[in-house]
Structure 1
Amino acid sequence: MLEAVTLDQLRTFIAAADYGSFSEAGRRIGRAQSVVSQTLANLEGQLGVQLFDRSSRRPMLTAIGRELLADARQVANDMDRLKARAKGMAVGLEPELQIVVHVFLPISVLTQAVSSFQRHFPRTPLRLSVEGMGAVIEPVLAGQCSFGVRAPLFEDQPELTSEHVMTLPYLMVASPQHPLAQYREAIPTRELKKHIQLVLSDRSHHANPTDMGVLSPQTWRLSDLSAKYAFLKAGLGFGGMPLHAIASDIANGSLVALEFEETRANVSMSISAIYRTDMPPGPAGRWLLDELKKVAAMQHATPHQG
């Protein structure tokens, strides 16, 4: 009987679980409550398990139902992805490619990939935005960009598909004149709290619920990476920077890498591409995304962690 399970049944199951009632699920998907109830009863019969406990006024997912809900979502998402990709192939090349990238993406990777893109798609205009933190997500969710390239966020977006692009080393640094740079051994956490930390802020509606990498209660928040870089070199505070942006400064001594006693100062940051599952990149967008991965692998051969 499993072969007879339909996508419509799975979507009805997902709607009933998400909205907490058969009547509300019916309103959302345009079905009568009786049709929803019968569809779910048929699905339970075909699967041979009980998905909902109907003993109370509102149906509740059983333990088995909760387990199978994730599988149902995966099947539905895979079907959405299949249909969307087929549609993209049918309509051909995009009339314009619009993407948004995080400020941490190395400009050398972006430039080389875009140069190749121009040779392969000379008639496809490119519109590029550079943003910070959660601001990469917003135009992708709104359907304004084919894809985005972002740094890690704690907040998952279930409607987005993510693909790893590269891993970047990320260092905590300060000017050689800064008091923290005078330490010749690991810096105690209590000392960090005495100094201003320069933090890249997030102006978007998808900001992290917690401050990633914030180690001091004294913070100056900046929305621009170049301003943060200039403030670090001026000795106005300590803070984290992607290694590729400060490698020459570390080499010539104009910035000093810090080591902390109780917290890792040097970490690896995963950079990933994101796009709406129901709106995957078209042929030109897909090509550029793959080219970014290839160029990143050649320029930054840091293994993916995680």
Structure 2
Amino acid sequence: MALSLEQLEAFMAAVETGSFSAAARKLGKAQSSVSGLISNLESDTGLPLFDRSTREPRLTRQGQALLEDIKSVLKSHNHLRYRVSNLADKVELEIGLAYDNQLINDQQIKQLLNDFEQQFPSTSLRLLHAAQHGAYRLLDEHKVDLAIGLRHPDSAARFGVTSIGQVQFAKVASADHPLVELKELSDQDLQQHRQLKFVDTQAHSESIRPGGSNAWYCNAPETLLSMLRMGLGWADLPLPWVEKELQSGQVVHLHSHHQATSFPQSLDIMWRREGEAGKCQQWLRNRLELQLTQSYQPQPC
């Protein structure tokens, strides 16, 4: 039994439009051609698929039984044609993006996802959270194709890089921390109290070792913020990480004898240089640069 796609398309068009004549108009064929295709399908399957005793043909019990299978075959065929077309146009079958979700907010990602789905409906998208330099590591390990993160010392030498803005760091503590009572902090004051530090446990170049001030390390930004709110120590963190806490007053700036905010660090889009970037990656790079540059402009120190 050989069933043609043309037969299945005629069947679905008749189901969707409600008549053979309307199906013919939809497919751009003569009505006799559509009727012939459906008759041949019934002959090949050995099953009556339409009841023609009424003014408009209706699906029989057998036709209803095959409907979902025929839909599935046509959907798979259309998907295959789309994939072949994408490969010819250099559209990737899948792409991965790593980003720091403490620096890139949910609304920005939602906008990106909506537009991406419209542009590349058959491309698989893999999103990975990676705080601070974690995005650089995932890119280096070929686990993603694009990364958004704080500039790594080796990034410019190893990858293509576009800066989309700057991220300020600040020394902060809970509102009831003893350091808050001091109007001007020295390095010695800070060393006498526990520092809370973010650490990427997967990075081979970093090691976890206790600091002279009984530093505590954490690889989960949300947990680190909870420790900060509890007054368990002070921290030097990206301002976007603690924006909500600062606005609520749970966390406040510590003013050292240097400055309240540290020298800004660059926030970069990174990609591997080897091979030609496909249309999907090119679109993502352009879209991210356009969207995120508006949020991260260099701020005066």
TM range (shorter): 0.5 to 0.7
Report the Cα distance in structure 1 between the residues aligned to 2:222 and 2:274, rounded to whole angstroms: 35
- Structure 2 match to 1:117: 116
- 1:167, 1:304 within 8 Å by CA — same for their partners in 2? no
- 2:94, 2:123 within 8 Å by CA — same for their partners in 1? yes
Q: 1:210 to 1:235 in 2, by over 3 A?
A: closer
- Structure 1 match to 2:177: 178
Number of equivalent positions: 215
Unaligned segments of structure 2, at least 5 residues:
1-85
Query: Among residues 260, 270, 282, which one is paired with 2:278 in the alignment?
Result: 282
1:260 and 2:259 correspond: no
Q: 1:158 to 1:266 in 2, by over 3 A?
A: closer
Q: 1:303 to 1:294 in 2, by over 3 A?
A: farther
Name segments (4+ residues, structure 1) moved above 6 Å. none
1:204 and 2:193 correspond: no
| SS of match in other structure, 1:241 | strand
1:230 and 2:229 correspond: no
- Structure 1 match to 2:294: 298
Question: CA offset at residue 250 of structure 1?
Answer: 1.6
Question: CA offset at residue 220 of structure 1?
Answer: 0.4
Amino acid at match of 1:284: C
Question: CA offset at residue 165 of structure 1?
Answer: 2.1
| SS of match in other structure, 1:285 | helix
- 1:98, 1:145 within 8 Å by CA — same for their partners in 2? yes
Q: 1:302 to 1:229 in 2, by over 3 A?
A: same
Q: 1:196 to 1:281 in 2, by over 3 A?
A: farther
- Structure 1 match to 2:100: 102
Identity of paired residues, percent? 19
1:273 and 2:269 correspond: yes
1:9-28 counterparts in 2 under 5 A?
A: none
CA deviation vs aligned residue, 1:74-112 (integer Å, no higher than 9, x gap): xxxxxxxxxxxxxx9965101112111234432243333
1:1-80 counterparts in 2 under 5 A?
A: none
Report the Cα distance in structure 2 between the residues aligned to 1:162 and 1:89, rounded to whole angstroms: 26
Q: 1:123 to 1:102 in 2, by over 3 A?
A: same
Q: 1:247 to 1:140 in 2, by over 3 A?
A: closer
RMSD: 3.1
CA deviation vs aligned residue, 1:25-78 (integer Å, no higher than 9, x gap): xxxxxxxxxxxxxxxxxxxxxxxxxxxxxxxxxxxxxxxxxxxxxxxxxxxxxx
Report the Cα distance in structure 2 between the residues aligned to 1:292 and 1:151, rounded to whole angstroms: 15
Question: CA offset at residue 303 of structure 1?
Answer: 5.6
Unaligned segments of structure 1, at least 5 residues:
1-87
